[in-house]
Amino acid sequence: MGVFDGIAKDLLATLDSGLDAYDARLRSEQIGTVVRVGAAVADVEGFTELGADELIAFPGGLMGAALDIDEKRVGVILLDPAAALAVGSEARPTGRAIDVPVGQALLGRVVDGLGHPIDEAGPLRATECWPVDRPAPAILDRAPVEVPLQTGVKAVDAAIPIGRGQRELIIGDRQTGKTAIAVSAMLNHQAGRPGGQGPAAKPGLCVYCAVGQRASAVARVIDTLRRAGALERTVVVVAGSEDTPGLQFIAPYAATSIAEFFIARGEDVLVVYDDLTRHARAYRELSLLLRRPPGREAYPGDIFYIHSRLLERATHLRPERGGGSLTALPIVETQAQNIAAYIPTNLISITDGQIYLSPVLFEKGMLPAVDLGRSVSRVGAKAQLPAYRSVAGDLFLSFAQFEELEVFSRFGTRLDKATQLKLTRGRRVREALKQREQARPAPPEQIAVLLAATHGLMDALPLDRVADAERAISQAIRETEAPLCRRIENGEPFDDDARTALISTIRQALAPLTQEGGNGDA
């Protein structure tokens, strides 16, 4: 018995020392009660302390975020389906705002608005989380937009140039090619220019944020990125039409925080928001369910601020702040070409320009259907390659004059030779601006084709041979003018000697086609 008594004494002594060291303290915990459940919101009472946008945990792993905070009631937007949530359920604050995982582990992944993977590629191994709603960089932390972002679309790169760090709106009716423009920019941006020099040749990263889109449309974009080898340098954030309005509302902010992690490390990131029309509708739905007073078109009064605080985060940082850039391409959908509607005009005033896609041009087969007359870039011209400014500097004015002349000529009036020449040349320029969705010509090829069209080198060709002429020109300058191509891509001045050399190469490339062509307007 002596052995057992000794063991018992030692055990009791250990327990006594542990109890003496234990400091029993009361821990307060807030527990609220759900008093109302809506389609995508819930009202909770019983909280005494709560932060803005704080995450709220409900039974069964359901999460929400505090959007309306009153003295007695909290309006919570639900980030998961609310089928299992009932009146009387407990609600517990988490003490943290809405955040999202960030880091290299997200590249090549498809996640939802909270950063949860939805691509069946295993769990994320992110080591850091950032709040989805972060303040925009200060004015003194920003640098001028000086580096071009090439989209691979001739009409955009030549007439509506975009710079890295710019906010350029893509606007148009349904099914006019808005997403195609954005995807082309993503593919061109992440590829960079192998062998080129300077910041413009550096490949960048992309974040594609799909808000309220059909699953089939998102799957097509992901498949396009995967087949082009671009998915490994892209993060896809999806809040589809089947997701809750709360998740659709926070998805663009989450995508921007993911991008900001990379720009703080010197990367150039392109973010596509597809599209902010559905984002505004999701926020309108949440606001009406939370019984906020409606304004114009039933949108809440702060809808402008919702989008401005998102797009203000796009910038080019100074070198001491990392030197990265965040370029935003928000997409907005119009109805019946009404760009004066509430949300489109808001976004036009927030952004640095817009690319307008016309359904009329689309129906005529003018693809991409970019309407140069309604499109503008207020910042990117300063970052455009010098060769573009030299070759296509007056493209806006000359093309607008051609379109007016073409309308006038339909009345059957007799035209003088100068007017006929303008019409002939304008039709070649219009044909030269067309391109297939998969085609993304390099800047030297674009410049050579535009030089040929605007300077009358294609006037003798039939319209149906312009595409053949473009292929011949592109092949010729790649094979015979490689040094000149490098100078153009590196941003060197495009002087008279370079223009003469390029025109000579173009003439040689077009000679076989011109001999076969016959009458130019055939």
Helix (H, G, I), strand (E, B) or coil at 207: strand
Q: How far is Cα 514 from Cα 465, in angstroms, rounded to an integer?
A: 10
| Active-site annotation holds for 378 | yes
Q: How far is Cα 482 from Cα 323, in angstroms, rounded to an integer?
A: 30
> What's the chain's Rg over C-alpha atoms?
29
Q: Which of 31, 243, 205 is nearest to 116 (CA)?
A: 243
DSSP 8-state symbol, 148 = B
How far from each other are the two terminal CA atoms of the chain, in whole angstroms? 117
**H-type alpha helices, 338-442:** 342-350, 359-363, 386-392, 395-409, 417-433
Side by side, the strands of the sheet bearing 110-111 are 110-111, 234-239, 205-211, 268-274, 325-333, 169-172, 353-357, 376-377
**H-type alpha helices, 416-495:** 417-433, 443-454, 466-480, 482-489
Helix-helix angle 443-454:482-489, to 10 degrees: 100
Q: How far is Cα 270 from Cα 492, in angstroms, rounded to an integer?
A: 25
Q: How far is Cα 314 from Cα 379, in angstroms, rounded to an integer?
A: 13
Return the residue matching tokens 């907005």.
Answer: 332
Return the residue matching tokens 């594609």.
Answer: 208
Of 378, 410, 425, 499, which residue is the catalytic one? Answer: 378
Q: How far is Cα 428 from Cα 474, in angstroms, rounded to an integer?
A: 16
3-state secondary structure 87-112: CCCEEEEEEEECEEEECHHHCCCEEC
Return the residue matching tokens 């019983």.
Answer: 46
Under 8 Å CB-to-CB from 80, ≥6 apart: which residues?
61, 62, 63, 64, 244, 247
Q: How far is Cα 128 from Cα 126, in angstroms, rounded to an integer?
A: 6
Q: How far is Cα 158 from Cα 165, in angstroms, rounded to an integer?
A: 18
User: What is the CB-side half-sphere exposure of residue 327 using CA atoms within 13 A?
Assistant: 32
Q: Which residues are catalytic?
A: 378
